[in-house]
Amino acid sequence: MITTPRRGALVISLDFELDWGVRDTLSLNGGYRENLLGAREVVPKLLALFDRYEIAATWATVGFLFASSREGLLAASPAVKPQYHDVRLDPYRAEIGDDEQSDPLHYAASLVELIAAQPRQELATHTFSHYYCLEPGQTKEVLPRARPDQGGVPGRSGGRRQDRGGTRCEAALDRLPAQSA
């Protein structure tokens, strides 16, 4: 019997969220702001290394980062938004700038395009806004609208996309109440 040697595999999945990933736990007034801004230098360098060594990676990204402007973000936002009892969790209340140039911590369309244009890179999403489906105040009506495959993320050319954020929430749907009239 002839056997082929097995090759190992390494899965690289990177969370790419900028401030949307820490806004409910860390202040931009602290030292973490510089770490978040550093992502703008790190992402292109990682992409160059991944290209050089033919490394595939998945970039788990919140849908907000696909927008290049406040206008685009608002246009892509779901009509039915989460109603968190703890308003600190609500990203739709966040103070944000007008576009990626004026607010590089809340918009990243240029980096999303860069990732999508690279071979072997995949864009995945955590829903549009880091939706906390099990937090008090959520209803069954919000979940489908919080998912980018339901129209929440502005379209971009190139790259593969998948939604990994809704799986845990879909499993919890039976525990969520229907929206009250």
Q: What is the pLDDT of residues 99-148, one digit of tens each?
A: 999 999 999 999 999 999 999 999 988 788 888 888 888 877 776 554 44
8 within some domain: no
Count of structural domains within the chain: 1
5 within some domain: no
Tell whether the model's pLDDT for residue 181 goes beyond 50: no
Q: Give the dihedral sign, CA 114/115/119/123.
A: negative
167 within some domain: yes
As beta bridge partners, residue 58 has 13, 122
181 within some domain: no
180 within some domain: no
- Residue 171: pLDDT band by 50, 70, 90 thresholds? low
The region, left, alpha or beta by phi > 0 then psi within -120 to 50, assigned to residue 137 is: left
For residue 138, what are the domain limits?
13-175
131 within some domain: yes
